[in-house]
């Protein structure tokens, strides 16, 4: 007897209260970086070219103008990540007409802070999940955590037919900004990243798009493409300027390999739900998947309104796609540290 595929019963998103305009951020960055970062004038165009209008932050704009220790940042991460996860969980379950006590499996993904006890354990103290809920914290997947987390949660749901599995993803990228870091990566990150959380409810007995396949590809000798540089003042972002080029040259083969393992190919994919890492990355993704320029409307809109929220972002794109009426077979994809591409295939009626 063939096991039933897990289906997505609900998707919901949540953002922290401080809404920052890109012009406001660019003006503040000029004050903080000009005269301290070599050739900062060359980087100022990154704010205008990022195709971002607004982002959300768990701390007010003035917080970024002062130095902060790793300990202070991480305390803020635990406080605000837990609160935002609770909001995302509430919204996801409400959308499905279910209670916290109905959840059998809880998966929480995040890479922008450290928590032991993990965030999922802390969530149990502020929301009435059952005490026998199975928990799985995921750390280190970075921007790939939305798709990778969805794939792992789907496997859990498939392993126990009828069980309900809740994936929650939260990233507070703003807390990783380091005032004393004059690297190009830190400046570019200031132009890109925001805070946000999302939830996805999966189960074999739910109605919604089915997760019918998933997979990953990690390239060799690529550990320096994305990641953290840990310092006394926090987690410093590390990413290569070549990421759009790497997407253009490497991603298609990885996608074909993953699809081929499941007897599929890009030719049978009707649409794409991708992590919008940045405007140039979206351009590269459209080229890789043979789409017309500007075709990834949902990805571009999410990037415009929220910025790059690391792992959470692709679930915002998923929420937008489902709200617009998802039909056919869609490939979800995201890239993250490793250097790794994560994929999931959805089938909607």
pLDDT in tens, 17-66: 999 999 999 999 888 887 777 777 777 888 889 999 999 999 999 999 99
What are the φ/ψ torsions at residue 343 (nearest 5 degrees)? Answer: -135, 150
Segment 302-328, tens digit of pLDDT: 999 999 999 999 999 999 999 999 999
CA-to-CA distance for 310 and 342, rounded, in angstroms?
13
Residue 2 — very low, low, confident or very high, per pLDDT cuts 50/70/90? Answer: low
User: Residue 1: pLDDT above 70?
Assistant: no
- State both tokens at 214: 């998933």
Tell me the CA distances in angstroms from 69 to 13, 149, 174, 199, one per residue in order.
Answer: 29, 29, 14, 30
Distance CA 8, CA 234 (A): 36
3-state secondary structure of 238: strand
**Distance (Å, whole) CA 111 – CA 188:** 19
For domain 210-348, the CATH class is alpha beta
The gap between the terminal CA atoms of the chain, to the nearest Å, is 22
Q: Which CATH superfamily is domain 7-203 in?
A: Thiolase/Chalcone synthase (3.40.47.10)
Q: Where in the chain is the domain with CATH 3.40.47.10?
A: 7-203, 210-348
pLDDT digits (tens, 9 = 90+) for 71-112: 999 999 999 999 999 999 999 999 999 999 999 999 999 999
pLDDT in tens, 177-223: 888 887 888 888 899 999 999 999 999 999 999 999 999 999 998 88
Q: What is the CA radius of gyration of the chain?
A: 19
Residue 143 annotated as catalytic: yes
pLDDT higher than 60, residue 294: yes
Rounded-to-5 percentages of helix, strand, coil across the chain: 40, 25, 30
């Amino acid at each position: 007897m063939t096991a039933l595929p897990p289906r997505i019963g609900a998707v919901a998103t949540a953002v922290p209260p401080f809404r920052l305009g890109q012009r406001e951020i660019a003006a503040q960055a000029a004050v903080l970086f000009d005269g301290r970062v070599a050739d900062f004038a060359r980087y100022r165009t990154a704010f205008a070219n990022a195709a971002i209008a607004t982002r959300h932050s768990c701390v007010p704009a003035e917080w970024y103008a002062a130095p902060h220790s790793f300990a202070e940042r991480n305390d803020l991460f635990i406080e605000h990540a837990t609160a935002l996860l609770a909001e995302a969980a509430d919204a996801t379950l409400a959308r499905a007409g279910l209670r916290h006590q109905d959840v059998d499996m809880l998966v929480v993904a995040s890479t922008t802070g450290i928590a032991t006890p993990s965030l999922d354990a802390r969530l149990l103290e502020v929301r009435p999940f059952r005490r026998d809920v199975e928990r799985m914290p995921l750390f280190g997947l970075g921007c790939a955590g939305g798709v990778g987390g969805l794939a792992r949660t789907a496997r859990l749901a498939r392993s126990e037919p009828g069980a309900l599995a809740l994936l929650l993803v939260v990233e507070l990228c703003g807390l990783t900004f380091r005032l004393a870091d004059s690297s190009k990566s830190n400046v570019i990150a200031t132009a890109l990243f925001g805070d946000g959380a999302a939830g996805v409810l999966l189960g074999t007995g739910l109605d919604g798009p089915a997760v019918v396949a998933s997979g990953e590809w990690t390239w060799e000798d690529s550990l320096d493409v994305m990641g953290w540089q840990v310092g006394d003042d926090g987690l410093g972002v590390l990413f290569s300027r070549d990421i759009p080029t790497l997407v253009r040259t490497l991603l298609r083969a990885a996608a074909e390999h993953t699809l081929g393992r499941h007897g599929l190919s890009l030719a049978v994919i009707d649409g794409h739900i991708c992590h919008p890492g940045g405007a140039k990355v979206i351009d590269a993704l459209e080229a890789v998947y043979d789409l017309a320029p500007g075709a990834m409307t949902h990805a571009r809109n999410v990037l415009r309104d929220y910025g790059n929220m690391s792992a959470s972002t692709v679930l915002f794109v998923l929420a937008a796609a489902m709200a617009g009426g998802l039909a056919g077979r869609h490939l979800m994809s995201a890239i993250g540290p490793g250097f790794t591409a994560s994929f999931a295939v959805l089938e909607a009626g």
